[in-house]
Copies of this chain bind each other. A is one copy, B any other.
């Protein structure tokens, strides 16, 4: 995802401190990613080192050592450069662990294949229903349309997955009937 540009993007309009950035990013990308402090803070330090952001110590009444990060003109340029010229590929991966596992499943346990795929299917259906429900709730609230788009995308891809797993089951039961 390149957290670097997510950070620059969120700092583009307003200064934030680290903890807040994690919240902002997860508010928006929640379904798509979780970020860890183990990645966020080093990223912020690196951005500060290369002069893309400026670090300002702020002594608020809450936790004492709060670092506010402010984007610099150099940082703005870098973000615009990425924004205008990056390739923007849709490259969702189909190489999840189950798909990978499937190759060996057919070879090693052909008798259990159908059963395992069905178990997988029921899990995906559950997940899909959960997202459909979340989508219904979000649409009622009528805010943060980006999250609505993201979850819609998730639902469509889960539906694709369900269709595929059903195909697999059909194809495997055909095999074993012979």
Interface residues of chain A, those whose CB is within 8 Å of chain B, are 1-2, 5-6, 9, 12-13, 28-29, 31-33, 83, 86-104, 106-108, 120, 123-124, 145-146, 149-150, 152-154, 156-157, 159-161, 163-164, 167-168, 171
A9's partner among B5, B87, B103, B152 (CB-CB below 8 A) is B103
A16 CB, min distance to chain B CBs, angstroms: 15
Q: Is the CB of B90 within 8 A of A120?
A: yes
A78 CB, min distance to chain B CBs, angstroms: 13
A102's partner among B12, B146, B167 (CB-CB below 8 A) is B146
A124 proximity list for chain B (CB < 8 A): 90
A95 proximity list for chain B (CB < 8 A): 1, 29, 32-33
A94 proximity list for chain B (CB < 8 A): 31-32, 92, 150, 153-154, 157
A165 CB, min distance to chain B CBs, angstroms: 9
A90 proximity list for chain B (CB < 8 A): 96-99, 120, 123-124, 161
Q: Which among A9, A12, A33, A94 has the greatest number of chain B C-beta atoms within 10 A?
A: A94
**A120-B88 contact given A29-B95, A168-B149, CB 8 Å threshold:** yes
Q: Is the CB of A91 within 8 A of B102?
A: no
A100 proximity list for chain B (CB < 8 A): 1-2, 5-6, 29, 32
A107 CB, min distance to chain B CBs, angstroms: 8
